[in-house]
Structure 1
Amino acid sequence: MVLNETRPAAEEGVPIPAPIADERAAPASGAETAVLAGGCFWGVQGVFQHVKGVLSATSGYTGGKQEDARYSAVGTGDTGHAESVQIRFDPKTVSYGKLLQIYFSVAHDPTLLNRQGPDSGTQYRSTIFPQTPEQARIAEGYIAQLGDAHVFPAAIKTTIEPGRTFYAAEDYHQNFLTLNPTYPYIVINDMPKVENLKKLFPDNYRADPVLTPVSKSTN
């Protein structure tokens, strides 16, 4: 994450329609998992920690090998990993499709290729890592739907990469937005995203974020 105060602040959220195709039915019990990448994981995690029905949101790395799943390696842009967030959610409260709507609308700008805000490189790409064939179907359909509706000023660059393993990031990256609300990078790039969530998705917003437990040891 690079702080460059000459760059503009986070974009305004974009009002977009909900996906036409969503999960067929929520399971009777149990949580589901989604993995999404959209630039620096601090902001993406911070947004989804404020979504009702999200049970946990963990920053991490997805797309590369386990031995490269560390910040110093991923930062080179050569590992195949993307900074990503693993979201555990209750589908009876929030659907996978609603998570994708929030992801495309306020969590990042899906029209940017391998960059978000002041950060650039493949590790900051816009990517959906579907955990099931149904999630892949929903994501593919939604990207096509948004493209046909021309809700963004440019083409969506989001990729869909199934079959990738998520690895949790170091403890010091977890809950970063909540723990560091006055950190300049957070103020400029990420707090506006949470405000956009509150404004555009008031029924899905919760004031108190769900935090990710971390060990007492320092990574």
Structure 2
Amino acid sequence: MTIKVIIVDDQAMVRAGFAALLAAQSDIDVVGDAADGRQGVALSRSAHPDVVLMDVRMPEMDGLEAARQILDPSPASRGGPYPGIAHRPKVLMLTTFDVDDYVYEALRAGASGFLLKDAPPADLISAVRVVAAGEALLAPSVTRRLIADFAKRPAPRRRSGTARPGGLTPRETEVLELIARGLSNQEIADRLILAEQTVKTHVGRVLAKLNLRDRAQAVIFAYESGLVTPGEG
């Protein structure tokens, strides 16, 4: 199955370099590029990509607002091309600086990943495949930054001892808490003494019950709902 990609960046050389790198892969097809967020939104609605590589800082419309418009599930915002959540593209945010303050907002906007522009070529190729497959590219460093951000905010009201979000089972709630700590499926499996495939099943059920797109949104949900708080665990 070929992954259709568009590249949205205000630097022509960056677009050309990424396009050449990705187009050389047999399973990736670069179907267009755009120089700013506004053009990127329009191109996404016409080209129906699987993955949008989106620069954070651009003129006319920045990558955060473009991601919000592309990923907004309301019919008025999407202009009709995405009849359901599974048909909307995944957005992989790109930035020059790992100290960007936009990580949290990018994930809140629905982005499935965050990657530095100076990452090795193999990392970019892998990132496209990961988010196209429906996974989140959420590195431990990004998880730590999210936790640090939440630590600065007023603590949300904690759930009661018996209430579980979205009708999750006790085991699914445990899995969600560990996702929020940045643990991988294998690490969760080791912690709970489960098979990794069993953990994958639990993760899938958590996302489905809570209507979340991926692990990135699961992390945000866990902290915003008060299921976990920074410093625990």
TM-score normalised over the length of structure 2: 0.22
Q: Answer 1 or 2: which has greater helix percent.
A: 2
The higher relative CO (CA closer than 8 Å, separation ≥ 6) is in: 1
Query: Which of these two proteins has the greater Rg computed from alpha carbons?
Result: 2
TM-score normalized by structure 1? Answer: 0.23
